[in-house]
Amino acid sequence: MIEGRIIKNISNFYTVDTGKEKIVCEARGKFRKEKQIPLVGDHCKIDPEKKWIMEILPRKNELSRPSIANVDFAIIVTSMKKPDFGSFLLDKQITLVTLNHITPIIYFTKLDLLDKEEMIAYQNIKTIYQKIGYQVIEKGNYQKLEEILKGKIAVVTGQTGAGKSTLLNELNPALSLKTSPISNALNRGVHTTRHTEIYEIKEGYIADTPGFSSLDIKGYLKEEIKEAFIEFQNYSCRFKDCWHDKEKDCEIKKAVEQGLISKSRYDSYLKMLKEG
């Protein structure tokens, strides 16, 4: 047996990169019995002659939607216009990747569509996330992305129509991934990605994955959601079990009132707390 990494999955046929060659394999029946599904990004052992995946090696993390494992970064492609920016959607994406032990990178697009007032609003939004400590990159700064991705694997995710496939095409024009126009009626793009695949970009890997229209925070503990808002960690409430909601003398609520914590982020937290 030899080891490799799954870089592509189409209809349960898995392309495995061994470092020397790429072999299309099928998963052994035992995985179905054990209810274990191989994911793009998995390190695995294969039988190169029978072209079977024999064993899935331990994962450091995984996402269920998009389905990918062993991710270092999640590049959250976020449109400011067409589709319009929504702070709750971005905060929910950040929270979910953080809960999966993946470092989020916010990649803003469609800035050229903004007028002067909208650009001022955008600058304020960008500042909120930079002050928290998140990596923020604007469309066109591909060199910075390539430097970050050296030796790493990243997933590209975000709202449909925000420019995920466009980003991949710009990082590697040879990919020629299909893109679609935005539907004005629905304020979202027509999704064009039909499978999950990792692409080699410079010295790293990046994945184009099926987009999603809904994100489910259910299944996570309220404590986990609270901890995912990393700016809250700079404050210590009187009671350790404070949910920063209706409690009196809450340091987080005070920080929001003083403008030290973004109200939009706090509102997103409360909304997710109710969903969890």
Contact 204, 149 (CB under 8 A): yes
Query: What's the confidence (pLDDT) of residue 174?
Result: 67
Query: What's the confidence (pLDDT) of residue 67?
Result: 78
Lowest pLDDT segment from 40-49, 124-133, 185-194: 185-194
- pTM given for the model: 0.79
Query: What's the confidence (pLDDT) of residue 180?
Result: 47
Task: Please say if the pLDDT value at position 268 is more than 90.
Answer: yes
The total of other beta-carbon atoms located within 10 Å of residue 261's CB is: 25
Task: Please say if the pLDDT value at position 19 is more than 80.
Answer: yes
pLDDT classification of 184: cutoffs 50, 70, 90: very low
Query: What's the confidence (pLDDT) of residue 130?
Result: 97
Model pLDDT for residues 64-74, shown as the tens digit of each residue: 766 789 999 98
Model pLDDT for residues 143-166, shown as the tens digit of each residue: 888 888 887 888 888 877 888 878
Query: What's the confidence (pLDDT) of residue 191?
Result: 40
Q: Which residue has the higher pLDDT, 252 or 150?
A: 252
Task: Please say if the pLDDT value at position 211 is more than 50.
Answer: no
